Structure 1
Amino acid sequence: MSKPFLSAAKLSFASFCLFLLASCQQQPEPQPVKEQLESSHVQNDAVDLTLLCQKLEKNMLDINSQRTTFALEQINHDLKICLPLQTLSQQQQLLSRSNEMYQNFLHVDRTAAQQLAFEQYAFDMAQHPTIHQSHFEQLHIRDQYLLKHQGQAYVQLADSASSAIHYQRDPDYLAKIFAPYMPEAERVFIENLALQNVEPAFANQALLIEPFEISRRALVWEEYIHKYPKSSYRKDAQHLLYEYKLFLFKGLKKSPVSSNYADPQDVHVSSLEEIKKISRLNHSELALQAKKFLQFLEMDSGQRLQAAGAKTGLSAWQQLELYLNLRNPVPHYKKDCFSDAICLER
């Protein structure tokens, strides 16, 4: 009686133990160490990113004319990381710092002899870009460095509309580094101005672009003002529109649209054709002014005097200016809008 009973009891106890062992093996093991490590890694990344962005502005201020293009490229890389995390006011603060950063980086304190050597070298390179000039060694050591590193970190040599040959930041810089992370109105302004200023509008009191391009740019800014009335760049867009209207209807000293606006034959052919084309557009202030321009060319002196408000002693251009109501919407404007992707303080 006892042996079969004990054998059955042993068998039952062994089965129970096997069941418990199987149950224990099926339960997933807790991984508190792994979870803590992952959480710590995420927190460290956040802290590192916060620290990077906090130090960014100081790093930009530390850039001077002793630094390398590599230092600029590192800051531009950090800007791409931090800009998406900033408000518009913070982005514009960094943009202002970037202006200062490039000014400091590109500054060269030359002697009179070094200035002359720089201008001569730049002129010779423009005439014969593949010829190495023997007086390269006469240049300031910073000029030697910058000339060797043109094209890096958005550094370029330019003969702008408003000054002699000099180094400047490529207009594409703001369009590629800042614009993608800014609100739509600011992004569109920067991208359009960068695109326009790749090809200068004028130099030495002469227009460098055709009437077609002048009117195209004017229409871009007219549309921008209507579409983004609350843009932080609204006044700059208004000034640009005004300037391109002057280029279209008046020209510049060395490339005037007309000598005296005596009649249609007294207007440059390509300008007249473009103004006629613009006059046929709808829903455009520029189109209305183009129509009035053509009307003015058909007026006699009495009609023009009346159109100018019966003011005597005015030139033909001054009479036309009054008739078109072509006034500066931003008086006393002091910025340069023709060298970068934003309008810069002079």
Structure 2
Amino acid sequence: MVACQQHDETHPIKEQIETPKVQNTAVDLTLMCQNIEKNMAEINDQRTTFALEQINQDLKVCLPLLKLEQQKALLKLSLEMYDDFLQVTRTPAQQIAFERYAFDMAQHPTIHQSHFEQLTPRDQYLLKHQGQAYVEVVDTGNEKLTYRRSPDYLARIFAPYMPEAEKVFIENLAHQNIEPALQNQSLQIEPFEVARRALFWESYIHQYPQSSYLNDAKILLAQYRYFLFIGSPKSLVSEDYHDQYSVRASSWEEIEKLAQSDDSELSKLAKKFIHFYHMSDEERRQNMHAKKSENAEQQLIDYLNLIRPHSHKNCLTDAICL
């Protein structure tokens, strides 16, 4: 009986002890989420990767509690936060030392470089801690190196807590932009991958017409269509647009495969592309009402109704269009 009595008496006491703890946790959580914007705004070029990681952990807790508009406001703040964190002021000599050191490390990561001490203290810190808190060093072309926040950041920190349309957009664009698609005006991906991405964005637009990223998906679709049928300034699909044999073999092969399928808008464009190369110059002018002065590239762009890549929006570096 004593044992039973003790059990009955201690149980309510245990509940009384635990209840304030739960309330305090709820209060702490509310306070943390209320302060997150302020804490993000306080991140600057003097802070550590540990401070970033702490905010990223807080974001994972707070994001599931927010509506999409609030999530996207924090997403915008996260861009500014990383921009501030990765700011480095260098002299011209320090700039040369940074690029030399970072490029050498990319080529020979095990070799200790003697000019490390010539770097700014901030560069020394960031280079030592690259890979932490989604901080990377990337080659932007012509051996110019810079810091960036990995595209994986938004895919891991934000996407899991967003509606499906936004989640799918961010996760897929992050994956596509881990490595550059375009560098020094030259395509870094094969026609097969260009076609795969164009088909993905075409499908995304049909599947998620209510997505808040719908317009950006349309920009991406237009961009990859252009890459597939025209190329880039230093990776042209054709040099003179004369006939099939003036088209890069890998591009022709991929476009021919697309033309044989019937389930996409891209397939229809592929059929038109092949038809264009089977026409004579005179047939092109007659069928497209083209002027004699119009070059063949412009004729093809008009015939396929392609849009030249946007210059005001960059969709090829992060998990969203910037």
TM range (shorter): over 0.9
Q: Deviations over 1:192-218 (max 9, x none)?
A: 001101121110011111000110011
Deviation at 1:309, TM superposition (A): 2.2
- Report the structure number with the largest CA radius of gyration: 1
Q: Please, which of 224, 232, 245 is the counterpart of residue 225 of structure 2?
A: 245
Residue of structure 2 in register with 1:195 after alignment: 175
Q: Does 1:151 align with 2:131?
A: yes
Q: Does 1:207 align with 2:187?
A: yes
Q: Which runs of 5+ in 2 are unaligned?
A: none
Q: Are the aligned partners of 2:103 and 2:143 in contact in 1 as well (CA < 8 Å)?
A: no
Q: Please, which of 17, 21, 38 is the counterpart of residue 18 of structure 2?
A: 38
Structure 1 ranges of 4+ moved more than 4 A: 24-33
Give the Cα separation in 1 of the matches to 2:202 and 2:231: 19
Q: Please, which of 44, 59, 79 is the counterpart of residue 64 of structure 1?
A: 44
Give the Cα separation in 2 of the matches to 1:130 and 1:30: 62
Give the Cα separation in 2 of the matches to 1:163 and 1:186: 34
TM-score by length of 2: 0.94
Give the Cα separation in 1 of the matches to 2:97 and 2:170: 35
RMSD: 2.2
Q: Which runs of 5+ in 1 are unaligned?
A: 1-20
Please give the secondary structure, in 1, of the residue aligned with 2:273.
Answer: helix
TM alignment of 1:1-346, pairs within 5 A: 28-29=8-9, 33-160=13-140, 164-327=144-307, 334-344=312-322
How many corresponding residue pairs? 321
Deviation at 1:67, TM superposition (A): 0.4
Give the Cα separation in 2 of the matches to 1:231 and 1:98: 21
Give the Cα separation in 2 of the matches to 1:171 and 1:280: 35
Identity over aligned residues, as a percent? 63
Q: Deviations over 1:151-176 (max 9, x none)?
A: 00100000136993100001111111
Give the Cα separation in 2 of the matches to 1:27 and 1:124: 69
Q: Are the aligned partners of 1:161 and 1:339 in contact in 2 as well (CA < 8 Å)?
A: no
Give the Cα separation in 1 of the matches to 2:16 and 2:243: 84
Q: Deviations over 1:83-122 (max 9, x none)?
A: 1111101110111111111100010011111111111212
TM-score by length of 1: 0.88
Q: Deviations over 1:67-90 (max 9, x none)?
A: 000001111111111111111011
Deviation at 1:340, TM superposition (A): 1.0
* Higher mean displacement: 274-283 or 308-317: 308-317
Q: Are the aligned partners of 1:260 and 1:316 in contact in 2 as well (CA < 8 Å)?
A: yes
Q: Which amino acid letter does the alignment assign opposite residue 179 of structure 1?
A: A
**In 2 relative to 1, CA 238–254 (structure 1 residues): closer, same or farther, beyond 3 Å?**
same
